[in-house]
């Protein structure tokens, strides 16, 4: 007699005002129950390459200009981060409304031998690491 095993995924969640709730965990869908929203910006770049070897792109729709300015403390731009001499990029909160793509650059602050260490730090902090 042949035995057959069926596996499946049971969705046990509930839609709530700010996302989908699984027990105590709420996944942010980026949607809000209110009709009014604070002014937001997306696609703003913070160039700190000369200061600490990083460039960050604020791509989530939940960012407001004051939060970006506070987090950046450097030159803000609408141009994307440079693509040359990168060690890799850490995407923080990749599916949320406060997404940051922080790119690390080879130079005085990081060498190519730091890629594994920086990548592991990104993943341990909940980010997604992508090497060039």
Tens digits of per-residue pLDDT, 61-120? 888 888 888 888 888 888 999 999 999 999 999 888 989 999 999 999 999 999 999 999
- Tally of structural domains, the chain: 1
Domain of 119 in residue numbering reads as: 44-130
In a domain, 36, yes or no: no
Round to whole Å and give the CA distance between 20 and 16.
Answer: 6
Give φ, ψ of 38 to 5 degrees: -70, 150
Which pLDDT does position 69 carry in this prediction?
86
Q: Which residue reads 């990168």 in tokens?
A: 86
In a domain, 87, yes or no: yes
In a domain, 48, yes or no: yes
In a domain, 108, yes or no: yes
| Cβ-based neighbour number of residue 79 at 10 Å | 10
In a domain, 81, yes or no: yes
Residues in the chain: 132
3-state secondary structure of 124: helix
The answer to whether 48 and 81 have CB atoms below 8 angstroms apart is no
In a domain, 73, yes or no: yes
pTM, to two decimals: 0.67
Tens digits of per-residue pLDDT, 25-45? 433 434 444 434 444 566 899
């Amino acid at each position: 007699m042949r035995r057959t095993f069926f596996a499946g995924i049971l969705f046990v969640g509930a839609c709530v005002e700010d996302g989908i709730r699984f027990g105590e965990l709420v996944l942010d869908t980026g949607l809000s129950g209110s009709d009014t929203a604070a002014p937001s910006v997306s696609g703003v770049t913070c160039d700190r390459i000369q200061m600490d070897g990083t460039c960050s792109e604020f791509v989530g729709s939940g960012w407001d200009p004051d939060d970006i300015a506070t987090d950046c403390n450097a030159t803000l731009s609408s141009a994307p981060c440079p693509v040359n001499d990168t060690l890799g990029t850490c995407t923080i909160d990749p599916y949320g409304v406060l997404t940051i793509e922080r790119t690390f650059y080879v130079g005085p602050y990081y060498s190519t031998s730091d890629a594994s260490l920086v990548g592991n730090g990104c993943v341990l902090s909940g980010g997604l690491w992508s090497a060039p």
